[in-house]
Copies of this chain bind each other. A is one copy, B any other.
Amino acid sequence: MDDVKMIAVRESVFADNDADAEALRTQLRREKTCLINVMGSPGAGKTRLLLALTAGLKETLRIGVMEADIDATVDTEAMLGAGLRAIQIHTGGMCHLDADMTRQGLQTLGTDDLDLVILENVGNLVCPAEFDTGAAVNITVLSVPEGHDKPLKYPLMYEKCALLVVSKADMLPYFDFDCRKLEEYARRRNPHIEILYSSAKTGCGTDAVAEWILRRVREWNREER
């Protein structure tokens, strides 16, 4: 696709990703750019949720989006189609992003004039949780069809996120999904986790997620530097 700006990221040269992520976070705080890392399974509905969220948020915030994918550019095309500044981070088989790969993406995107950058990580409940990207905050998206037992099976993903968005909530009548059990399992791993239900298809609940993000961006820009 001619329109999609793509960067093929290289594997990090930094041995200490945690220190590198902290350095990136400090830099982003200084530049008043809030980076939000969105993780979840393949097909959890991350892209569609982000399209629903940014439709409203872009009235208030200057937003950039980085779409990480092993291959393909369909998600970035969707973001560009919605009038967002977006780039594709092509991981070339890599299952996650680390802080240096994220930095390479941010440099390609250009962040000087952005309040919020959303990183849509590789669809994967395992590896992305193991690598701090330098984001201000992590959001995990779990879709109703995946089932309520996922926090039992992929605990680190739920420990690392501040917000869990239960997506495709319009499908609750059709699946054996126990919200109480999900919340219990998630809080067992992460007592401070916030949980919001939404459906990008119907629009139910997306405003609350957008407001959560807006609050986070404002807090980030108020914080002492």
Q: Could you list which residues of chain A lie within 8 angstroms of chain B, going by C-beta atoms? A: 41-43, 69-72, 74, 93, 95, 122-127, 130, 143-147, 149-150, 152-156, 168, 171, 174
Contact = CB atoms under 8 A, between A and B. Distances in A.
Nearest to A75: B153
Contacts of A156: 70, 93
A137 B125 CA distance: 24
Contact of A42 (B74, B125, B130, B144): B125
Copies of this chain held together in the complex? 2
B43 A126 contact: no
Given A42-B153, A150-B42, A126 B130 contact: no
12 contacts: A42-B154, A69-B153, A70-B156, A71-B152, A72-B152, A74-B152, A123-B125, A123-B154, A124-B124, A124-B126, A144-B145, A145-B146
Contacts of A41: 41-43, 123, 146
B153 A72 contact: yes
Contacts of A72: 149, 152-153
Given A43-B145, A74-B153, A126-B127, 16 more contacts: A41-B43, A70-B154, A70-B156, A71-B152, A72-B153, A93-B126, A93-B130, A93-B156, A95-B124, A123-B153, A124-B124, A124-B126, A145-B145, A145-B146, A145-B171, A174-B174
Contact of A126 (B122, B145, B150, B168): B122
Contacts of A42: 41, 125, 146, 150, 153-154
B150 A70 contact: no
A44 B84 CA distance: 31
